[in-house]
Amino acid sequence: MMIRNALKYVFVCFGLLFSMEISAQEKPNVLFIAIDDLNDWSGCQQNFPNVQTPNIDRLASSGILFNNAHCQAPLCGPSRASIMTGLLPSTTGIYAMIDDDKIKECNETTNEVIFLPDYFEQFGYKTMGIGKLFHLGDKAKCFQEYGGVYEMFGPKPQKRFKYDPAWFGKPSGTSTDWGAYPVYDSLMPDDKYANWAIERLKQKHDQPFFLAVGFIRPHVPWYVPQKWFDLFSVDQMKTPPFDPDDMNDISEFAKQVMDVPPMPTTEWAIENNYWQEIVQAYLACMAFTDYQVGRVLDALENSEYKNNTIIVLWSDHGYHLGEKNRFAKHSLWRRATHVPLIFAGPGIKVSQKSEIPAGLIDIYPTLAGLCKLPPNPKNEGVDLFSILHDPVKAAQKCVITTYGFKNHSVYWDDWHYIHYKDGSEELYNLKNDSNEWENIASKDEYSEIKLKMKQKLPEVNLSNVPQSSYNINEYFRENLNDL
């Protein structure tokens, strides 16, 4: 076969030949922004008042916000493993926390995985990253240049300010606390991550780059300097909806799976007059991280790469701030699964908002499509832009979130269906019941929609791999590795 010109590249991937008519210099770069524990309160999503996220909002206005996006696991380790592998937790057997360098050791399926940054590297990209990208940063060593992780969830004062589970006879297992600390932004790891990314955007790169930045806040502890707290009046702080009888219509098994013994309850926060303080602290952390995101976006805008860089911003899962009597992720309910997912850059129309169900698992194939790379046939997600204007495919799209072996959540159209390992179920009409207060799974009139939702559950459900474990509650501690 004759080579028509010097700009044509032939790659061998998965035993197939792929021809690329585009030179390395013409390929779009990727700016990959991860934010830890950021729920769906960003201003562009309009789910909570008085939020200050102007930079995330301007990114959304410069591209497309997938406003019905959900994680594949409501926990850092399995969520990030799913994003980086392009596989569902039920396919890999990774349901809980896992060291990044152990992912490929789990089974035959994960042995063959090509991590997202490695996939781009195969097609001539320089991969650079800093901060929390995998759960432990980049212990998997898939970035060519990695800037490290500083004090993963620090810095921290010598003594906690408001909450330590040991103070209240609760088991350990959370860094939950809040308060103004430290004095300066420069002492925060996220500030350093932004600095590092900004320096890379100032550099000259002779090949396309994949630059990943993993911000820590608003992960607990909710510590940021005082100036970020000052943006929000605690006395005027609103709190999210809460129904103390909310759990009366779900199974005992569901309560067991979703239990978070180390975490504060909403009832406790109300009794101690802490709820408004906690929401203020979370919003302060959001505002701080948004500022760091803005610094990186400004650096890109002022660089030579501003017109040739695809940007994706995502959070690994959501977070309850008092809903469902909890301050935690660790659930299959919407507040813990619903996340911001934004794409912007060349070829992407501005000021778009899509309600198509999207998953973080779709990031891998979507970035490959936007960068004109051949699809990785192992990916279980889809290129979101391939269905964006296809009503038939869009109508069929659903998203699956998994929390432990055979505990699945399915989002499809206006419906949210949860099916647990013991066979118990929950069904919510999100259009009429956005708070998920009324479980209608047992009502006969919804049997047909429930059946359709059930048919979308994963067909493959691997047992939890021994490399993956978690100690948040008795169910995970005693059962996860014995399935």
383: part of which helix (H) or strand (E)? none
What is the spatial distance between Cα 341 and Cα 61, in angstroms, rounded to a whole number? Answer: 12
Residues 474 and 483: their CA atoms lie apart, in Å, by 14
Residue keyed to tokens 């090949």 = 207
DSSP code string of 416-479: EEEE-TTS-EEEEETTT-TT-----TT-GGGHHHHHHHHTTS-S--PPPPTT-B--SSHHHHHH
Q: Which of 70, 71, 135, 330 is catalytic?
A: 135
Q: Enumerate residues 6+ apart whose C-beta is below 8 A from 349.
A: 63, 64
- CA–CA separation, 340 and 280 (whole Å): 20
Is the link from the previous residue into 182 a cis peptide, with omega within 30 of 0? yes
| Choice among 71, 76, 106, 371 that is catalytic | 76
Contact yes or no for 340/354 (Cβ under 8 A): no
Contact 358, 394 (CB under 8 A): no
Place of tokens 């940021």: 224
Helix, strand and coil percent figures for the chain, each rounded to 5: 35, 20, 50
Say how far apart CA 238 and CA 402 lie, in whole Å.
31
- Residue 285 bears catalytic tag: no
Question: Are 228 and 287 spatial neighbours (Cβ–Cβ below 8 Å)?
Answer: yes
H-only helix segments in 13-88? 54-61, 76-85
Q: Would you name the residues annotated as active-site residues?
A: 76, 135
